[in-house]
Amino acid sequence: MYFNTSKTYWQYLRRMRSSPPPAVLGNDARRGTFNAALEQSEQLYTAATSVGMESKPILLYYGIYQAGRAIAAANPDRSCPWQLQGHGLKAPNLSDRDRAPVRERQSLTDMVVRGTGRIQEAYPTIARILNSPDLTTEIKLGSLFALLDETRTRTYSGGSSMFASLNDMPAPLAVSVEAFATRNGIDVLCINGLPASILQAQNMQALVGEFLRRFYPQFNDQWEVGNIDNGSGLGRKGWLTLTRQGEITVKDSDYFTPADEDRSALERELGVRKPYFSFDDVVDPTLPEQGRTLHRLCAWWAALFYLSMTARYAPNAWTDDLNVDMSPHAVGLEQLLEFALEEVPCLVGEVIESLAN
């Protein structure tokens, strides 16, 4: 299920309300919550398109929260709570940051979000449904921004984030599965979006290998780091090439095209994801302190929670963060919040469809 716009996804979700997932059928309370929460979520996201950045994250967070109510109601796992309560997250030190002089204020990207550990609350419930970390180990807001940054500019010299200070942080990595056959068989994978500081280093191969093993454990020691392809035909021009010994079934010996089942198997092994608004497939990083990959809906949930809390309870700092004349994060925040309007409803539709099936 892939559509081109968030409007199409909202239409898909509206149609689902008359033919809801099996967990909702036959339970009037669940069905009432499912339908009402989706209606409220859509209204909140529609309203968010017509307000300024100062208030937008408040509407976006409560919109994703209400969508979470619908997700919980559609969850077939009866051992999991379905009536969400509380936030399940904390945004510490908001007031201290709001009161601090601008020059002494801690950077927004260094602020943290932390799970409460109360499993009956909203975020831990959604994280459980999506097999995602509950964030009882705190995470920096900058890490969340980087995880959500599929819009980073990818050049031959490295990835460039919408937040300049995040260029060296792990983010969705563009991948192109290009398997070629040799006498013994070899898997060839092209990647893009690695930090420029790594790609431009003298010991580039060693640093890339270390970076991949730390944040993308699917690229284990079997993968050998090559060079940035110069158009020789082995990989994809301008992309870094990784190779490993493999068993490739050749579909077309003239062009060494891999069989579809081999390509699909390699994509599943690497956890390749197809973004909604990008032509390149990606793999998401795993943050070691969290233990596993953060589901994108959970990353949006946590990021929008913090931004909504700072908009409400630290409005002085938030207004300064949005000031394009003084804040290095201002334009990035504008991009991020506009992107949330597009991607969050797509993710909600995908999650509910997976629960229904």
Q: What is the pLDDT of residue 13?
A: 93
- Residue (of 357, 354, 342) closest to 8 by Cα position: 342
Please check whether residues 268 and 294 belong to one and the same domain. Answer: no
Distance in angstroms (rounded) separating the CA atoms of residues 155 and 164: 15
> Would you tell me how many other CB atoms lie within 10 Å of the CB of residue 197?
11
Q: How many domains does the chain have?
A: 2
Question: What's the pLDDT at 180?
Answer: 55
The answer to whether residues 216 and 116 belong to one domain is no
Residue 148: inside a domain:
no
My answer on whether 47 and 130 are in the same domain is: yes
Residues in the chain, pLDDT under 70: 1-5, 150-161, 178-185, 229-237, 246-260
Give domain status of residue 317, yes or no.
yes
71: how many CB neighbours lie within 10 A of its CB? Answer: 27
Task: Judge if 131 and 78 occupy the same domain.
Answer: yes
- Please check whether residue 298 is in contact with residue 127, taking contact to mean a CB–CB distance below 8 angstroms: yes
233 in the same domain as 182: yes
What is the per-residue pLDDT for 322?
96
Indicate the residue among 231, 255, 283 that finishes a domain. 283
Cβ neighbours of residue 339 under 8 Å, at least 6 residues apart? Answer: 148, 151, 277
Joined together, the tokens standing for residue 336 give 């991020």
- pLDDT of 278: 74
Domain boundary among 263, 283, 303: 283
Same-domain pairing of 175 and 126: no
Specify if 118 maps to a domain.
Answer: yes
Same domain, 18 and 126: yes
Q: Which domain holds residue 269?
A: 153-160+166-283
Q: Are residues 229 and 298 in the same domain?
A: no
Query: What is the spatial distance between Cα 272 and Cα 289, in angstroms, rounded to a whole number?
Result: 22
Do residue 273 and residue 300 come from a single domain? no
User: Does one domain contain both 18 and 43?
Assistant: yes
* Domain stops at, among 252, 283, 314: 283
The two three-digit tokens of residue 208, written as one number: 């890339």
- Using alpha carbons, list the distances in angstroms from residue 138 to 73, 91, 134, 231: 28, 10, 9, 43
Which residue matches tokens 């991948």? 175
**One domain for residues 185 and 267:** yes
d(CA 305, CA 149): 17
* Residues 271, 203 share a domain: yes
193 is a domain residue: yes
The token duo for 194 is: 């690695």
Helix (H) or strand (E) holding 118: none
pLDDT of residue 255: 46
DSSP-based three-state secondary structure for 22: coil
* Residues above pLDDT 70, as percent of the chain: 86
pLDDT for position 199: 84
Nearest to 227 by CA among 191, 195, 178: 191
